[in-house]
Amino acid sequence: MELKSSKRRQFISSAINRWLFSITVVGLFSGALLVAFFIGLAVTPRSSLCNHHHHPNKISQTKKTNLKSKPAQLSPDFNSTTSWTELHMDAVVHYATSRYVPQQYLHEIQVSYRVLKARFPCNFLVFGLGHDSIMWASLNPGGTTLFLEENPKWMETVLNRAPHLRAHAVEYRTQLSQANELLEHYRAEPDCWPGKSFIRGNDKCRLALNMLPEEVYEKEWDLIMIDAPRGSFASAPGRMAPIYSAAVMARNRKGPGVTHVFVHDSNRKVEKFYSDKFLCPKYLTETAERLRHYEIPAATNPDDKQPFC
């Protein structure tokens, strides 16, 4: 009887936690819906989408912030207030009725949410497609949110449920078991070095994601979320290449301001080591649970003799 009673209490506690989390997420979307409506009234295709005079909100609970950004281009899929309203309405209904919640904890979500609240509409690149994708797209009204997913079948499943999302399937050329080998390759291959580092067309550096859709290379990304690909078993692609490539994108930024990079599962050995190697501890501004937030400035006078960090 005591065992059954304990299981019943655990079940009730779990159900309450899921309910509270869903209510919190719905609250975020309800606020975002109102903001998106008023932003939609003011934003036109000719306006600067990252005009921060229209967004007085400031990021809180971080050591340092930089909110300047190159103007983004309006996503062709969402070029009217009506489209964004529909997306937010779908998001509210989805999270209010779904038994699935975002993979990240609430404290982790709040870190990225504060940055998005201060920076939107912006260019937001997300590695991974999942139960939180509708949330991320909804929190960037008027901007471009693009998802990169390793599993085409899973991508199809998600897009069938949420056709508003923009996503591309990506085939990685690394495995987690190669993490140490790839570091040796980085040291030996000049096209990986800081002074020459580039992504598009870089066939020699195995850490460079040279197989991404052209849309990725054509934009400067204000925020980059690394929550994929899988990195929990030896044959998984691992997140070595996304972390390295995010560092290169941030360093090669031509517009003003910093690039915000978020690394999830940073409690794992490879994510932590590669983040320290390429994103740099000095640019780490906040941690929450398994999430790290970096603010990376563009490189000035990059030199191959100097490491990334």
> How would you write 39-83 as a 3-class SS string?
HHHHCCCCCCCCCHHHCCCCCCCCCCCCCCCCCCCCCCCCCCHHH
Residue appearing with tokens 């309203």? 85
Tokens for 48, please give them: 């600067």
3-state helix, strand, coil in the chain (%, to 5): 45, 10, 45
HSE-up (13 A, CA, CB side) for residue 309: 16
pLDDT in tens, 99-148: 776 789 999 999 999 999 999 999 999 999 998 999 999 999 999 999 99
What is the pLDDT, as a whole number, of residue 99?
Answer: 75
What pTM, to 2 d.p., does this model score?
Answer: 0.75
What is the pLDDT, as a whole number, of residue 136?
Answer: 95
**Angstrom distance (rounded) from CA 112 to CA 224:** 10
Q: Which residue segments constitute the domains of the chain, with CATH numbers given?
A: 50-79+99-296 (3.40.50)
- Of 234, 122, 244, 124, the C-alpha closest to 192 is 244
Residues in the chain where the model's pLDDT stays below 70:
1-96, 101
Tokens for 180, please give them: 């140490």
What is the pLDDT, as a whole number, of residue 201?
Answer: 96
3-state secondary structure of 294: strand
What is the pLDDT, as a whole number, of residue 27?
Answer: 53
Task: Report the relative pairing of strands 166-169 and 259-263 from DSSP bridges.
Answer: unpaired
Distances (CA, A) of 15 to 4, 27, 102, 267, 289: 16, 18, 15, 27, 22
Looking at residue 289, its amino acid is E
What is the pLDDT, as a whole number, of residue 103?
Answer: 81
**Angstrom distance (rounded) from CA 104 to CA 108:** 6
What is the pLDDT, as a whole number, of residue 84?
Answer: 64
- 137 with 87: CB under 8 angstroms? yes
Distances (CA, A) of 294 to 81, 83, 119, 142, 306: 32, 32, 15, 24, 20
